[in-house]
Amino acid sequence: MKVGIVGSGFVGATAAYAMVVQGVAREIVLIDLNTARAKAEADDIAHATPFTHATHVYAGDYADLAGSQVVVICAGVNQKPGETRLQLLERNAAVFRSIIPRILTHAPNAVLLVTTNPVDVMTHLAARYAAAHGVPSSRVIGSGTVLDTGRFQAMLGRYLDVDPHHIHGYVLGEHGDSEVIAWSSVRVGSLALDDFNRKRGIVLDTAIRDEITHRVRDAAYSIIEGKGATYYGIGAALAEIVDVILDNRRSIMTVCTPVPEVVGVADVTVSLPHLVGGSGVMATFPPMLNDTERELLHRSAMIIREAIAELDQAASDRQAEAGKDSTPAT
């Protein structure tokens, strides 16, 4: 089982290391514009294999992606001082327009797993570029709110004093400030959250729920403030998603992929509970939400939809301007 990783920075390298530790793949190839960085990361990770799992880890080029079942895309550019969000999106869109065809030329049957932020918009663009090569959107997925959902399960499990593996609850929508915790559908084992709390005599009032929501939503900010970047959590999350795909485990995960409509917003990419297997997204399960949560998810989806529309309008304006410049004088 072979995995390609395009982008060998903190996230890409940590994902590779997590896969080695968990024994997810037999072969991992790291690709980066900075070839020295890719080789150094691959060598460092390879030196861990005698103590973990026998995985062939090496640096390569796009041609080395041949035979990959999954290609994880971590490539992208960082925001420059004074640069607007739209300008950053346009530069990352240019990166994806370049790398998606190169990936699919050598790994035409791979599932593409996007983690470049803003992951919702970038997954939408990746699916658009992949469609030109005959790849269905179901084979283009983003890491979405898988990490956010894990953070929620961990925090709530700690509060309830329950193994987080037995907390069933989802973070939906944007991977960002507008994400929505679906409190109304949380289950502990087979029990609704409120029923579990009554049986255990646990108080989980609005103030406590708001505090957990705030800590989940702002987790990345506090980590970045303390150490400059987040990579362990997302690296482990990516390893888990890749493992689900390679083993065709058919797990319910809050990845993101383009959907025709969600709570009244058309043609958008947000995180929802999806059935994930060897071919990517196999089915989507619209969550059961109360009215407030539906309104919040609608707002979150609209933020992503507006960002996509803004990006498309900027591209259209550039094309129109280029057409004017090329019009011969009369």
Catalytic positions: 175
Tokens matching residue 172: 């939906």
Residues 275-294: b if buried by 16+ CB within 10 A, e if exposed:
ebbeebbeeeeebebeeebb
- Best CA proximity match to 25, nearest among 54, 45, 50: 54
User: Residue 199 CB: number of other CB atoms within 10 A?
Assistant: 10
CA 327/CA 330 separation, integer angstroms: 9
Closest CA to 113 of 244, 305, 287, 303: 244
Distance between alpha carbon 268 and the CA centroid of its chain, in Å?
15
Angstrom distance (rounded) from CA 288 to CA 322: 47
In sequence order, what are the beta bridge partners of 291?
none
CA distance 31 to 190: 44
Phi, psi of 315 (to 5 degrees): -65, -40
